[in-house]
Structure 1
Amino acid sequence: MGIMSFLRNRAGAIIIIAIGLAIVAFLLSDAIRSGSGFIADANSKIGEVDGEKISYQDFNTRVDQNSQQFRAQMGNLNAQMQSYIVENTWNQMTSSIILEKQTEKLGLTVGTAELFDLMFDNPSPQMQQIFADPNTGAFNRANAISSRKSADTEPSGQLKAQWVSLEDNILHERSNQKYLALVRNGVYANSLDAKDDYTNKNKLVNFDYLVLDLASIKDADVKLTDADYKEYYEKNKYRFKNQTETRTFEYVVFDASPSKQDTLEAKAKIDKIAEGFRTTDNDSLYVAINADTKEPIAYQKKGTLEPALDSVMFNASKGYVYGPYIADGAYKVAKLVDSRISPDSVKARHILLNPATEGGMDKAKSKADSIKNLIQKGASFAELAKEFGTDGSKDSGGDLGTFARGSMVPKFEDAVFNGPVGQVFTLETQFGVHVIEIQKQIGSSKVVKVAVVDKQIAPSSQTEQAAYQKAQAFIAAVKDQKQFEENAQKQGIVKLVADDVTPLQGGLPGLDDARSIVRWAYQADKGDISNEIFTVGSKYVVAVLTNVKPEGTLPLEQVKKQIEPSVMHLVKGRMLKEKADKALSGASNLAQVAQKLGVTTSSVENIVFANPIIPGYSQENIVVGSIFGSQPNKLSKAIVGDRGVYVYTVKSFIEPAAFTNAAKSKESLVQTMSSQADGAVFQVLKENAKIKDLRAKFY
């Protein structure tokens, strides 16, 4: 575990970990009550589930907590990741409310004894992760109980609040598990179900067929009528239910990316910096003064440097300067400060003193020296850590476990990786004053310390102004959608389309963070030109709203373009079926039909109903289903499939061995259905719940 976790007081660590792990759980604690927020006005409501309000404050707190958890694992979050977090948090909170209402209806509860058991005797996954022993990974029951007891006396009350939240989360999760268990226990398969499943997977069919491929008719030769569209729409109306309102808009982009002159100026700056970098004797200070990106200079093992450096620095001599080179949108120059053979990992322990509570840095250093002297004279490091330590490691005797490079802050890391085993010393970092003992160093490999100075290749103010003026001229010249299209075509600007954008969508084609544009689209009317120029990174954007699809079943006109390929399929299938029906008239076998149509027949063997694929062609559910319902040696009717129109003759069915193990088949079926039950039941509950989603007003 990294030093960032250990170098905090116990309460803080428990709070952070408990929050993070609680929200990772599928079913969250449900402390969302309409009267619990600090802001009571209607604008604070971000949503509602079956009459139960979700306040903006509660929701935003959860989003922040989820973001912290993701950031700890993945670093900085981009717009898409942040959008995902908002969506995931919404799903978690609505899931929790919906399922809790079901458990309340059924009277499902968790007793005090059961809750205690889930927390300390047979701990839930959350408890196991939060209170895992850093060395063994096993649940540390003593630490969990100690923390729970200290929550009642901790002065700030924060630890108590987080324990209450954790207990509620575990309680509601178990209630929801009980509800879903009831659903799964209601899943049943009888002997007929089992026999049908066995037959579908094992009965074989051999048949001959011919096919008239839909692709044999060119699209240009087909004229679609309104009646064709209506026929398909009425048959498939259920497919066009819009779960949420969507909007479509077109937009043009004026890019203010760095010009050739901007790039040349950045190159001139880095060339000058490189000259001084070669001769400076204070690399850290030089990087701090000249680099656009300030990063600590630390030893790194092979494979952790950026590719351009990883291939050269491990074979270079101290003082070697590489570059300038371009990486991550910047000119860079790198210098090999040092290289050495170093341990791969270190086991260490420490005692952290907080200068704020010791009366200042000088007093903290003096106390650290005294503790170090006691240890060197034989005092127990572990006991002194428990007595004087101020971070989460004190309860385990200051043990930090075994860690590799990159786990600790550079100053701490350099000290424990470069010092001798057994050394006890003091060290000052941004977290306070440490008394450290290096217990063990494992393995050895070459590491390098590389200093990097970068200069971003950024657009100049002149470049940005020129792009903005182009966008300004464009927006001033257009008043409606027709003028928007004409002006874009006249200027040779590529017009981009954002189809069916949802209210909380974060990114658009070519634009990573487009929330401002999406928010505008949901406040505009069809045909509106954006009343502002949107700035997205180094790009300026002007948009026009072209379509609005409301929630609910969409009318034919809204989906006409979308369904055109399917309508084309319908009409082609009808045309080829008429052709096949004429060939079938008077024919007594498949060969005669093939001769009339001018096509060849094919033979297929050993097809099963459960895998309806015609080899070398495609999956044809309707055709294979029809085949298994036919009589042998009988010429079929023309069947319209996904790829064409088929005519076939069944040669034979091969019946499977006698069905003897109904119990095992039923068990297998039940397992399959049970694994799908959780998601299916929640989907049904969600569809039946009255959910108001107002997030787009806030995010």
Structure 2
Amino acid sequence: MSVIQTIRDKAAWIIIAAIALALIAFIVQDAFQGRGGGMFGGSSDVIGKVNGKKIDAYEFDSRYKAAEQNYQAQNYPVDERLRGQIRESLWNEYVEDAILGNEFEKIGFAEIGKDERGDILYGENPPQMLRQQFTDPKTGAYDAHTAYQTINQLKKNTPQFNSFYGEFLPALEKARMKEKFVSLISNSAYTPKWLVEKMNTENSQVSNISYVNIPYSSVGDSAIRVTDEDVKQYVNENKEAYQQDEARGIEYVMFDAAPTAADSAVSYEAVATVKNEFAAAPEKDVESFLLRNNSELPYYNAYVLGSNMKVSNADSIKQLGDGQVFGPYLDGGNYTIAKMIGRRAIPDTVKVRHILVKIADPQAGQVRTDSAAKFLIDSITTAIRNGASFDSMVVKYSDDMGSKETHGEYTFESNKFGQLSREFAEAAFYGNAGDKKTVKVENSSYSGYHYIEVINQKNIGTAFKVAYLSRPIIASAETVNGASTAAAQFALDSKDKKSFDENAKKKNLNKYPAMDIKPLESGIPGLGDNRELVTWMFRTAKPGQVAERYYQIGDKFIVPVLVAAYEKGNMSVDRARPLVEYKVRNKKKAAEIVKKVGGANTLDGISKAVNQPVLKADSISYASPFVPNVGNEPKLIGAAFCKNFQTAVSTPIVGEIGVFYLKIDNLGAQPNPNFDVKQMQMMMNQQQRMVGMRVIEAMKKSADIKDYRINFF
């Protein structure tokens, strides 16, 4: 027993030691490879660095979530693509803030003070949002006093206060600082008069030359070999022109789980089965019927002008009698039955004016009982009927702040009917011009009593109320399972690029390329969004590696293999070759041409050596990059004005289409009687000042930016 106990005791220590070592290994590995690059590339709370300044991941995430919630509150469809755009915009803001912050400190820019803040909000150029809200409709002037009073009345710790002082005002101050910086750079640019005159003198020059053009095509491509080393050397010599961002490239095979013909038939039958029941449903039950039957299209309980009906089979639907149905018919990816509910005449456009008395508005700090609101709206109505000014009633009593400056007036098109409160919309569109009535609106930001006057109605036509029972054509479980199983088996059988290619050929599957995928893209361009797939490319996969599983994009299951991994810096040889191979080849051809010319030092001698004629070009302009009958040859233009070549043949000029030798026959100038030095100077100064708008992008390029976002998203 004691022996067994001894073994147990020792084994326990061995197990404890093994666990401890595993934990240490895990921690060390996390330090080197953790989020943000580990201890040597940032930490889990650092999403990036700009010139050594850290961008906090938690702060970034907090601001990102606030932005996403703001889009959702405005009913934007927040998908992966929009999320990526939000993150990119926020990242650029952080980078710009870090770069400009350093520059502001260097040049002594002070923070925005109270006086300048007042100028931003109430000066001659107020923010557009304030200008729209506080412009006097009669004079068209900005009412800074009212704006000041309204802003000062914002109560602390309310959503409006926090939004204004926490987001809106800081953004305005930041924009003002940036504007001052750009203006400082722009105003530092200046073109002196002597430079303008010198440029005019040079641009007035003309040259007549004799030349020999030995085209690169005179040397066969087969005689010139461009090696990988040649390409690499060319890229290294021209680094600025051949930089690349981090990117990945894949090939993939695709297994389609789109509905089959059999699936389509099942979907059709499901809709056709309830056709008679839908036709028999009374109007009051139509909405609940569509809900019970899971219609893709909700019931739009309003009339739509015939000219605005943009649905499939609209002409046939308009011919239906009340209560009749049409279908099932194919509408996009759905089978649909249309039921005519009714028809009536409505205007395409209405103009109304109204006064709103809210019942309750906790955000504005205003609470009014229903009876008090009803009493006030009745009093306003009576006053107007007895001759009181509508405009004065609007200014004094209306709780619709957005229409105070427009006398309470709104113009609506009929396609905006569904965006209005039903009671308000029906009063405006279903009544007649000249109608005056009070309606009560509930469950809206405009809840309360509205006194409405219909000023006019235009373009009255026949409108239709139609209910649509619509169901999508859905792939069956058998179809989906078949595609996913085939994709999973392909991934299991394909261990590397070679077996991937063999299996694709064996199964007669097409291979599709997707190249130049950036680290923060939402998915595969042209295919769809799948952020998880992009993450696999950058965090896990090595060139030649096949994904261990499939990725689903829409109704497609794909299995990818990573075929290219490009790191930031000089272009790799395989990526650069299509761009530079012809340039390297022409460079080598130029050397062969020069060798063939040998020691010939006259145009006639060169002409005989290469069997090319001596040509002439007259009136070459210094200001133009083009040579008549030759094309874009800036080096040839430059040599045509080199005085050394008036007495001797030029050295070889390696151009775009060939090698040139020239001799200047005559140099002269053409007068420019319309030249206005002051106007030209002014125009050049304006162009120079554009540099202020480009300087920030130039600063970004020269900044030391470490981007760890791929480890977070």
- TM-score bucket of the superposed structures, by smaller chain: 0.7 to 0.9
Partner residue of 2:90? 89
- Taking structure 2 as the reference length, what is the TM-score of the superposition? 0.78
1:33-432 equivalences in 2 (<5 Å):
43-64=44-65, 75-76=76-77, 79-109=80-110, 110-129=112-131, 131-133=133-135, 139-151=142-154, 153-154=155-156, 156=158, 158-160=160-162, 162-199=164-201, 201-205=203-207, 214=216, 222-242=224-244, 244-272=245-273, 280-282=281-283, 284-290=287-293, 291-294=295-298, 296-300=300-304, 304-306=308-310, 308=312, 324-335=328-339, 337-351=342-356, 353-354=358-359, 369-378=374-383, 392-393=401-402, 399=408, 401-407=410-416, 408-409=419-420, 411=422, 412-420=424-432, 421-431=434-444, 432=447
Q: CA deviation at 1:569?
A: 2.9
Q: CA deviation at 1:459?
A: 1.9
Q: CA deviation at 1:476?
A: 0.7
Helix, strand or coil: the match of 1:522?
helix
Residue 484 to residue 367, structure 1, CA distance change in 2 (3 Å): farther
State yes or no: 1:612 paired with 2:621: no
Give the whole-Å Cα distance in 2 for the aligned partners of 1:448 and 1:647. Answer: 78
1:582 to 572, 579, 596: 596
Partner residue of 1:538? 555
Helix, strand or coil: the match of 1:254?
strand
Partner residue of 1:642? 656
Residue 566 to residue 470, structure 1, CA distance change in 2 (3 Å): same
Larger deviation, residues 129-138 vs 622-631? 129-138
Residue 529 to residue 181, structure 1, CA distance change in 2 (3 Å): same
The one-letter code sitting in structure 2 at the alignment partner of 1:547 is A
Question: Residues 286-328 of structure 1: CA distance to partner in whole angstroms, max 9, x if unpaired?
Answer: 5444421326344445765436466777788767866555444
* Alignment RMSD: 4.1
Larger deviation, residues 369-378 vs 379-388? 379-388
The one-letter code sitting in structure 1 at the alignment partner of 2:450 is V
Partner residue of 2:453? 438
Give the whole-Å Cα distance in 2 for the aligned partners of 1:677 and 1:662. Answer: 24
Give the whole-Å Cα distance in 1 for the aligned partners of 2:421 and 2:398. Answer: 21
Residue 230 to residue 691, structure 1, CA distance change in 2 (3 Å): closer
Partner residue of 2:27? none
Helix, strand or coil: the match of 1:570?
helix
Give the whole-Å Cα distance in 2 for the aligned partners of 1:666 and 1:318. Answer: 75
Give the whole-Å Cα distance in 2 for the aligned partners of 1:69 and 1:603. Answer: 68
Larger deviation, residues 319-328 vs 191-200? 319-328
2:219 and 2:589 in contact (8 A); partners too:
no
Question: Residues 356-382 of structure 1: CA distance to partner in whole angstroms, max 9, x if unpaired?
Answer: 979xxxx97656554443333226777
- Taking structure 1 as the reference length, what is the TM-score of the superposition? 0.79
Helix, strand or coil: the match of 2:105?
helix
State yes or no: 1:495 paired with 2:511: yes
The one-letter code sitting in structure 1 at the alignment partner of 2:101 is E
Give the whole-Å Cα distance in 1 for the aligned partners of 2:524 and 2:53. Answer: 33
Give the whole-Å Cα distance in 1 for the aligned partners of 2:262 and 2:590. Answer: 62
1:320 and 1:335 in contact (8 A); partners too:
yes
Partner residue of 1:515? 531
Larger deviation, residues 227-236 vs 93-102? 227-236
Give the whole-Å Cα distance in 2 for the aligned partners of 1:71 and 1:614. Answer: 58
Residue 440 to residue 545, structure 1, CA distance change in 2 (3 Å): same
1:199 and 1:656 in contact (8 A); partners too:
no
1:464 to 453, 463, 480: 480
1:318 and 1:339 in contact (8 A); partners too:
no
Give the whole-Å Cα distance in 1 for the aligned partners of 2:319 and 2:216. Answer: 63
Q: CA deviation at 1:472?
A: 0.6
Give the whole-Å Cα distance in 1 for the aligned partners of 2:455 and 2:672. Answer: 66
Give the whole-Å Cα distance in 2 for the aligned partners of 1:611 and 1:71. Answer: 54
Count of aligned pairs between the two proteins: 648
Q: CA deviation at 1:116?
A: 0.7
Partner residue of 2:18? none
Helix, strand or coil: the match of 1:159?
helix
The one-letter code sitting in structure 1 at the alignment partner of 2:187 is N
Q: What stretches of structure 2 of length at least 5 have no aligned partner?
A: 1-41
Identity of aligned residues (%): 22
The one-letter code sitting in structure 1 at the alignment partner of 2:411 is T
2:593 and 2:659 in contact (8 A); partners too:
no
Give the whole-Å Cα distance in 2 for the aligned partners of 1:434 and 1:180. Answer: 50
Q: CA deviation at 1:60?
A: 3.8
Give the whole-Å Cα distance in 2 for the aligned partners of 1:446 and 1:214. Answer: 71
State yes or no: 1:685 paired with 2:688: no
Residue 602 to residue 47, structure 1, CA distance change in 2 (3 Å): same
Partner residue of 1:663? 678
The one-letter code sitting in structure 2 at the alignment partner of 1:481 is K
1:393 and 1:400 in contact (8 A); partners too:
no
Helix, strand or coil: the match of 1:194?
helix
Partner residue of 2:577? 563
Q: What stretches of structure 1 of length at least 5 have no aligned partner?
A: 1-40
Residue 645 to residue 257, structure 1, CA distance change in 2 (3 Å): farther
Give the whole-Å Cα distance in 2 for the aligned partners of 1:484 and 1:93. Answer: 42
Q: CA deviation at 1:644?
A: 4.0
